[in-house]
Amino acid sequence: MEINKERFKKIFPNLANEMNTSEQKLEIDSIRSNVEDAEKAAKAQKNLSNYSPDIIDFLRRCDNEKQAEEIIAYMENRSEITSNYAQKLRQQLRKKGVRSFGPKKEEGYYFQRLGKK
């Protein structure tokens, strides 16, 4: 279905306004294939209370794909992730690269999130 800008603005004025401003934009900086893990991580990361890093957090500390593969293999060998999930992570790593899991978490990342340093 094709629609011109003016008709779109008339039908969806708020959405059109949001699309034309920098306000209300949400940056997506990582991909998690497990919805439950993603929701749990998002809630816990807000204030870091009861937050336990998961494999995605560890992958975000990696500098390259070789390091990421080592993390995936380690977690799989320890049965901290299933073989099926490990395969999905490897596939994402090969297709989209190590930064597809999110921007690199540098030293002091959690202190910065809490506003401390």
Which pLDDT tens digit goes with each residue over 4-32? 888 888 888 888 887 777 665 555 555 66
pLDDT band at 117 (very low <50, low <70, confident <90, very high): very low
pLDDT at 87: 95
Identify the pLDDT of residue 91: 95
Whole-angstrom CA distances from 60 to 34, 36, 98 are 16, 19, 7
Query: Which pLDDT score is estimated for 30?
Result: 58
| Rounded Cα distance, 11 and 13, in Å | 6
Residues in the chain: 117
pLDDT tens, residue by residue, 35-90: 676 666 655 555 566 667 889 989 999 999 999 999 999 999 999 999 999 999 99
Query: How many distinct structural domains can be found in the chain?
Result: 1
Q: Which residue range forms the structural domain that includes residue 91? A: 5-113
